[in-house]
Amino acid sequence: MTTTYDADVVVIGSGALGSNAAYELAKQGRSVILLEAGSRIPRWKILENFRTSSRKANFNDPYPNEPWAHTSYDPEYLENTGSFDFRPGMLKLVGGTTWHWAAACWRYLPNDMKLKTLYGVGRDWPIDYDTLEPYYQRAEEALGVAGNGEEDQSGQGGKAWPPRSKGYPLPPDATTYMNQQLVKRLAPEGYHYIHEPNGRVTKPYDGRPACCGNNNCMPVCPIGAMYSGDMHATHAENAGAKLITEATAYKLEKGAGNKIVAVHYRKPDGSDVRLTARYFVVAAHGLETPKLLLMSDVANSSDQVGRNLMDHTGIGLLMIGDEPLWPGRGAVQQGGIFNWRDGDFRKQHSAVKHSMSNAVPNRTITERLLKQGVIGPELDERIRHDAARWIDVGTVFEMLPSPTNRVTPSDKKDALGIPMLRVNYDVDDYVKAGKEVAKKDYARFAKIFNAEVIEDESGWQNRDHIMGSVIMGSDPKDSVVNGDCRTHDHDNLFLATTGVIPASGVINPTLTGVALSIRIADTINKEI
């Protein structure tokens, strides 16, 4: 008897990773259902929400926060039990959190994927860089990445690295005056300030206009030059996929042969729907994905689901330099310092990356001056003076996976009766040792720019780069998925999330997540 399915593949989550997987499957003629817990909202509406909001510093504020699809800044959504208030800026709507990312699109280095072998700490990836390289290229083409392929991204000032089979799809944006001056001042001191590959198109591309420098990537690109996941949700629909919004998946159902046979989702009116498929791809980001697996009691024979949670937990430096740099032109990030990205030091302390913010700093400066009692013409003059010379350094650290850094379903329930999230998260000694290195750099930066230091002890900060929560590995006893992102326990269940990343490095993980998701689609296409 022939089994009838609702679809060949159900993809749970319409962010950049899920939507790219859905598109790759649909364009090969597979029947695909794409589930999204949140709603679909047009760009103009998000932009209008931002313009009328009095909470401009809250990047989640312009986005929907539904009783069944909370943003992560909702105080009811995420309960912390560890020493660190883990609160990444996640969104739930069609397109996911790439609506308000900075669009940094770095590749991992080959050495990042051999951390245990080379440096004796953390874990190795079960696949190598050469295996992933063709998918990096496809991910860059999907996202429209603009980059400089001539630089050594290891930060050592050597030849172009990591290796590439083709150039970037788009040329890099013009170097701003601020970045020209940063290079001029930092290079003689031995710092390698390199261009950041970015998912903002520098020419019209895939229906998107070229970036015109609104400097508003976070909380929303007003014109759609910056990539967001809704673009591939639409591509998937145009290729034949069916998108179902306001559909919160709460159970994966096991069947014969330990296969997943159905997903159950709940609608805002409380009604339930069961969907069957040959394959399932969970792409519900690095916190919701393990929660769904734990609620369903699937893929957890290793007891690693939800454990090993990593972020690039960081610190920050604010200072006023001795010359006008004029931040605020172009992308909110254009480059960074990678001197501590790779080397034998990783045996003792974490890798370190410093990024220079290029966002308009006027709000922060004005609030600071008002607290000092500066008003009237002096306030205007000081805003102009300080904003031109403002230097905002954001630093991230390489994390190691720890089983006690963990996400689990909370006792709290949302409006549909589905558990919220509980996170236990602490910063370990490997990162704390890296912080000491970064603080020495901070002192040098202040000296190089003859700066007035505003803040050099920010405390630990969220960086919104969720990894490790459904960790990848070659041994089913200590990992959740294999190198293909297929769960060890269920051969028709794949996880498309940065939560699979087993060694975090210091680069933003979204491009890698998209590359792995496209690879998942290729694997499924070969098997169906």
Which residues are designated catalytic? 465
- Token pair 């788009």 is found at 170
User: Residue 49 and residue 405: Cα distance in Å, rounded?
Assistant: 35
Beta 272-282 vs 260-266: how paired, if at all?
Answer: antiparallel
Question: Buried b / exposed e across 433-458, counting CB within 10 Å, b at 16+?
Answer: ebbebbeebbeebbebbebebbebee
Half-sphere exposure of 294 (CA within 13 A, CB side): 23
Q: Closest Cα to residue 516, out of 29, 13, 129?
A: 129
- Token pair 């990593």 is found at 310
User: Residue 24 and residue 239: Cα distance in Å, rounded?
Assistant: 9
User: Residue 165 and residue 368: Cα distance in Å, rounded?
Assistant: 48
Q: Is 373 exposed, middle or buried (0-12, 13-18, 19+ CB in 10 A)?
A: exposed
User: Residue 208 and residue 229: Cα distance in Å, rounded?
Assistant: 13
Q: Is 375 exposed, middle or buried (0-12, 13-18, 19+ CB in 10 A)?
A: exposed
Question: Buried b / exposed e across 131-140, counting CB within 10 Å, b at 16+?
Answer: ebbebbbbbb
User: Residue 107 and residue 165: Cα distance in Å, rounded?
Assistant: 13
Beta 406-413 vs 390-397: how paired, if at all?
Answer: unpaired
Angle subtended by helix axes 230-238 and 16-26, to nearest 10: 20
257 — phi, psi (to 5°)? Answer: 70, 20
